[in-house]
Chains A and B, each alone.
Chain A
Amino acid sequence: MRIKSLIVALVSAGTVSLAYADITVGVLVSATGPAASLGIPEKNTFALMPTTIAGEKVKYIVLDDASDTTTAVKNTRKLLTEDKVDVVIGSTITPNSLAMVDIAAEAETPMISMAASARIVDPVDAKRRWVFKTPQNDVQMSTAITEHMGNNNVKTVAFIGFSDAYGEGWWQEFSKIAELRKMKMVASERFNRADTSVTGQVLKIMSTNPDAILIAGSGTPAALPQKALKEKGYKGKIYQTHGVANNDFLRVCGKDCEGTLLPAGPVLVAAQLPDSNPVKKSALDYIGKYEKAHGSGSVSTFGAHAWDAGLLLANAVPAALKKGKPGSKEFRAGLRDALEATKNLYAAHGVFNMTPTDHLGLDQRARVMVKIEGGKWVLQK
């Protein structure tokens, strides 16, 4: 058994200790596993981020959590204790982010999540003091959908979502808001990312004859229920969530997705925004950088959440540097304070205005309704 200890010793010797003057950013994304389609563009985005902020070198350490909470926690601990990072950005999905909250707070290190649920930052308590997030809450997106539904005389709604945290989060928020708006939820179905058929669920939904259907899935898998609905002849309105906002979804869903409505961050339709919109410039900036590296049409809104996290950070660093050197406790506390003080930061997904009780800081400008027309995302005015 000495061998094992020896291995441990060798491994620890092999990890070179870091130069402490640099700002170290620990990044955790779900680049493999079920959430890979969200995590990969995020991972790619970190390669585009500035390597110096306010004259300080920035080092990004990107780790994968394989969409698994244990790995997320393990890697967060590694980033905090081994790499002594000044800030943790991650993770891609809600359960992992929730699991990381305690650890980041314990280490008194700010954390910026790229996952959707409001539970990650709300309420801002002793632990969540340290936690911020960039994606719009499911509530904000749900409100946009219900508003649109209300305006279009939708009375009955059916829901079909992923059998995971994404679908669950949407169901909880959406059903609440829909009831408030006097819409009736007539069906709630679940499907798995890897399912090859959703005929059962679709038939069940159609037997309730809803005015509209919301499909809560992310990436290409969300196309399956929609195609099945069209095939079975569903004529009502179909809504998707912002989770589908990448070009792969359009490629797979094809003509079956014509006319589909979804809420999304403005980055999705940045070019169509009026020039007066303050988000347009920052969103186009990101798109330009990403597509230069990964080809035209490759951009997704998920990568933009990572980009926004980077912007928040870059915005907060100068103030934090006044408090202490990178690597110090003071710097991390300063960074937290500066993040909380973020005001009018134009990012790819909207305008951030943080307060001590709001660690998301996005407002109505962070979401637009988008329609799929002619295989393109078209901004709805």
Chain B
Amino acid sequence: MKQRLPLMVFLVLLALGPLFLPEFYVTLLNYIGLYSIVALGLVLLTGVGGLTSFGQAAFVGLGAYATGYLTTAHGLSPWIALLVGLGVTAGVALVLGFLTLRLSGHYLPLGTIAWGISLYFLFGNLEFLGGHTGLTGIPVLEFFGLKLNTGREFYYLIWVVLLSFVLATQNLLDSREGRAIRALKGGGLMAESMGVNTARTKTTIFLIAALFACVSGWLYAHLQRFVNPTPFGLHIGIEYLFMAVVGGAAHVWGALVGAGLITILKQWLQDILPKIFGQSGNFEVIFFGIMLILVLQRAREGIWPWLVRLVPVRQGRRTVAEAEALPRREMPAAGTVLLEVKEARKQFGGLVANDNMNLSVKAGEVMALIGPNGAGKSTMFNCISGVDPVTSGEIRFLGERIDTLTSREIARRGMGRTFQHVRLLPTMSVLENVAIGAHLRGSKGVLSASLHLERAEEARLLAEAKRQLERVGLGAHLFDEAGSLPLGQQRVLEIARALSADPCLLLLDEPAAGLRYLEKQALAELLRRLRGEGMGILLVEHDMDFVMGLADRVVVMEFGEKISEGLPEEVQKDPVVLEAYLGGVE
């Protein structure tokens, strides 16, 4: 309960605020609330999802103009106008998202600048929207017969909306879909390999952010009762982004802190600066710019993380509830051919990384792929798992051709993998990282996550993640930040993550690297047990003792091609292999 205390105090203050605050502070809080709603969308989109948008102000405009136009020109109820506005915004966001979200890297922010400007000028040049001059006479909102005439009445509407959005966003982030969203920034490739449809996830958060902005615009129009294009221009779009970043773009409360701080700061500068410099200058914007630079130089992650540090350490969730185990996949009988690679060739421009590769893995065996550095083993892994498809040749998994499928679809068919260079989300807990692996074993969507209607499924997913972590020996680290583990254990974490997807074929890329002797023993023991359960394992590893003690069969690669295949003891004696490893004895 203690950790909730600051929140409770805040809520009580908010609720009582209008009763004792002077009128103007209620007005300010109203604007802060409106801005926070937009900034909250940006937290989700930019701070968490890593997609930068300068164009949110345009979505605010869509919401405001929808109600402005429909209520004044057609006399519709604002509530119907809200629905229409949300519909229009969703439509526009989907089209823009379809076009611009596929823009990679820095193309996206520019794309958002482009349509931000376009929509702004469109608002200004459409006569039925009042042109540049604007629409007047937007009606007062009525709420069950209660007219929201004054700022104090409006205040409660704005803040109830905002707080429920905050709650929904928080719920969403703490869910299966939320983990997928959090994986977008810096973990997209990994997430795809775990079965997350990242394109869809991106579109989802883009849509949510746009709808938040639209609601803010609807509220704005009825608070202001006047709409014209200037509040929806690019400069304002930039300001929304400022708010999110200054507040702390990766935290939901950062949106409120940022919006509050910037709004109050501007107001305060406007009062204080003329007293210092006299009336003649316009110093606000200069000060504002310089202050922002200083904030970013001193607190790059924004104000919120810094504020949190001032409050005594908060306890995160420390237990994982027991829950019914998730249903498991039917394992193929031992000896069934799981994976078959035929004549695979991978070419990067003129460089041939793999050629003429053939190999197969059966259920219940450990197949090791070895070879000197640069032999093309990891490339082969990426071809098999669909991360980077083959140029030509055929790959079959459980009898089905998969060389044209995406990594996501392959994961769904029961192939799990780890990466040579560890790919995990360092600031997320060990448990949550592993739970991403179980993504495909849940089905509840964004809406039920926001309302926390998927707690039963979530509990089962987390329990599964915990089970797998205990199995690989990381049971003591469930709530540590993944990035704080030593590298060797991070690799083991990746195994747990792959296992929680309940695969029948496991691709392990150098799992023993960085482990100590006893840890290697334990890992070998685990792999044997998995083999015993009927799982097929394809292993790339440099530690020969480890490989030879474990593998049933071995394939040796050099220069992208297979040079030898057979039982471990046969391969060890093969002169071609010795030549490759030890260099020719002239």
Contacts and interface: CB of A to CB of B under 8 A. Distances in A.
Direct A–B contact in complex, judged by CB atoms less than 8 Å apart? yes
Interface of A: 1-5, 7-8, 11-12, 14-15, 31-32, 43-44, 46-47, 62-64, 66-70, 73-75, 77-78, 81-82, 94-95, 98-99, 101-102, 117, 119, 163-165, 167-169, 190
A67 B230 contact: yes
Given A69-B231, A168-B133, A81 B24 contact: yes
Nearest to B134: A95
Interface string B1-17: 00000110110010001
Contacts of A46: 279
B132 A163 contact: yes
Contacts of A4: 10, 256-257, 260-261
B175 to A, nearest CB: 24
B282 A73 contact: no
B133 A95 contact: yes
Interface of B: 6-7, 9-10, 13, 17, 21-25, 27-29, 31, 121, 124-125, 131-134, 136, 151, 220, 224-226, 228, 230-231, 236, 253, 256-257, 260-261, 264, 267-268, 270-271, 274, 279-280, 282, 284-285, 307, 310
B13 A2 contact: yes
A185 to B, nearest CB: 16
**Most B CB atoms within 10 A — which of A32, A47, A73, A190?**
A73
Contact of B282 (A8, A15, A31): A31
A69 B270 CA distance: 16
17 contacts: A2-B6, A7-B260, A12-B21, A43-B279, A62-B279, A63-B270, A64-B270, A64-B284, A67-B230, A70-B220, A74-B28, A74-B267, A95-B132, A95-B133, A99-B228, A163-B132, A190-B125
Contacts of B124: 163-164
Contacts of A7: 260-261, 264
Contacts of A78: 24, 27, 267
Nearest to B13: A5
A102 B6 contact: no
A113 to B, nearest CB: 13
Contacts of B236: 68, 70
Contacts of A64: 270, 282, 284
A163 B125 contact: yes
A99 B230 CA distance: 12
B121 A1 contact: no
A69 B25 contact: no
B32 to A, nearest CB: 9
Contact of A12 (B7, B22, B31, B279): B22
A119 B6 contact: no
Nearest to A15: B271
B586 to A, nearest CB: 72
Contacts of B310: 3
B228 A95 contact: yes
A12 B29 CA distance: 13
Given A70-B230, A81-B23, A117-B133, 17 more contacts: A1-B256, A4-B256, A7-B264, A68-B230, A68-B231, A68-B236, A69-B226, A73-B224, A77-B24, A78-B24, A82-B22, A95-B133, A95-B230, A99-B228, A102-B226, A165-B134, A168-B133
A1 B6 contact: yes
B224 A82 contact: no
Contacts of B24: 77-78, 81-82
Contacts of A62: 274, 279
A14 B264 CA distance: 13
Contacts of B151: 77
Contacts of B29: 8
A98 B9 contact: no
A1 B282 contact: no
Contact of A3 (B224, B230, B270, B307): B307
Contact of A8 (B25, B133, B230, B256): B25
Given A1-B7, A73-B224, A165 B132 contact: yes
A11 B274 CA distance: 16
B10 A2 contact: yes
Contacts of B224: 69-70, 73, 99
A324 to B, nearest CB: 21
Nearest to B263: A74
B31 A168 contact: no
B86 to A, nearest CB: 22
A74 B27 contact: yes
A67 B307 CA distance: 34
Closest 9 CB pairs of A and B: A81-B23, A1-B10, A99-B226, A82-B24, A95-B228, A165-B132, A81-B24, A165-B133, A70-B231
B285 A119 contact: no
Nearest to B231: A70
Contact of A119 (B133, B284, B307): B133
A356 to B, nearest CB: 21
A280 B377 CA distance: 92
A7 B279 CA distance: 26
Nearest to A7: B264
Contacts of A74: 27-28, 31, 267
B367 to A, nearest CB: 56
A98 B22 contact: no
Contacts of B121: 163
Contacts of A67: 230
